[in-house]
Amino acid sequence: MGWVDLWRGILLCDVLHAEPSLRGVPLPLPLVEMGYNYSLGMELGNPAQRRGIAFIRGKGCLNFVHLESTEECFPEVDEETESITVRVDDWALTTWSNKKMSNSLEDWHKESVVQASSIAIDPAISRMLKDTGCCVYHRIMTLQQSSETCRTSRSISPLPASLVKMLFTW
């Protein structure tokens, strides 16, 4: 049996053992969030919005995912949700695996990182994302070697869960 705190770790107990005991498995630390506010950290909020964990039976291991976003908060409050307005400029999904499930952070192995700004999006999908408001393109004109060139930069808002699952599967 297990109890999970997605910011801190997992408590495990083999309730079928003759003498059940608790053991802890720490989770990878949210280092970026801990570095905010002159390394005093920040209120981390609901971890279910940024972290998830699963036991993969076929592999006999834990898989853990953490979403880290680069965002800007605005003073306006959304009238419908009564939440602050946030623009997400970029995000990264990082996965770790742990086969030992011991009390050591060193047992977690970083498997992969997907950075939204480095995802190449097919033009047809890009148009669909733009039409639904999930991807906003800004045209930036730059002068390079006395000739005018055009560079496109993306500002990506959080993608729908179904698209994230399509891009990032275990």
| Contacts for 77-84: CB closer than 8 Å, 24+ residues apart | none
Q: How many domains is the chain built from? A: 2
Range of the domain at 160: 119-170
Q: Which of 25-29, 62-66, 95-99, 155-159 has the lowest mean pLDDT?
A: 155-159
Structure tokens, 16: 């079928």
Indicate if 26 and 104 belong to the same structural domain: yes
Residue 75 inside a domain? The answer is: no
**What pTM, to 2 d.p., does this model score?**
0.64
Residue 62 inside a domain? The answer is: yes
DSSP one-letter code for 157: P
Under 8 Å between Cβ of 74 and 140 = no
Under 8 Å between Cβ of 62 and 98 = yes
Q: Which residue has the higher pLDDT, 131 or 44?
A: 131
Residue 82 inside a domain? The answer is: no
Indicate if 23 and 101 belong to the same structural domain: yes
Nearest-angstrom CA–CA distance, 33 and 6: 14
Nearest-angstrom CA–CA distance, 152 and 132: 19
pLDDT digits (tens, 9 = 90+) for 40-67: 655 667 888 889 999 999 888 999 999 9
Indicate if 101 and 127 belong to the same structural domain: no
